[in-house]
Amino acid sequence: MILRYINRHPAPLLTLMLLAALALATGNLATHLPPGLWWQAVSAPQTEQLDQLLVHYSWLPRMAMAWLCGATLALTGCILQQALR
């Protein structure tokens, strides 16, 4: 019953999964840096603050690559399913 609903309406499940991934990413960032300093760490980190430098030069590039690779793998899977039927 639930699987039929998910097959017909995948948007709620995809939204839930996206929110869960976003919550995990924000929770991970919150362990490294207080939320008030997030924008400063992304745009122009202070060179004296090691936490901001770690977020800017280590955490953000890894997170961006993880999201890009995941999206690419998902798109590749969809294309293969359509091509091979």
| Polymer length of the chain | 85
Q: Is-contact 25 39, C-beta < 8 A?
A: no
List pLDDT tens digits, range 32-83.
Answer: 788 888 888 888 888 898 988 988 898 889 989 998 999 999 999 999 999 9
pLDDT at position 75, please? 94
List pLDDT tens digits, range 4-43.
Answer: 776 777 788 788 888 998 888 888 788 878 888 888 888 8
pLDDT at position 31, please? 81
Q: Could you tell me the pTM of the whole model?
A: 0.67
Residue of 57, 39, 38 whose CA lies nearest to 47: 57
Q: How far apart are CA 72 and CA 57, in angstroms?
A: 23
pLDDT at position 76, please? 96
> Residue 75 CA to chain centroid, in angstroms?
16
Question: Hey, what are 30's tokens?
Answer: 């919150």
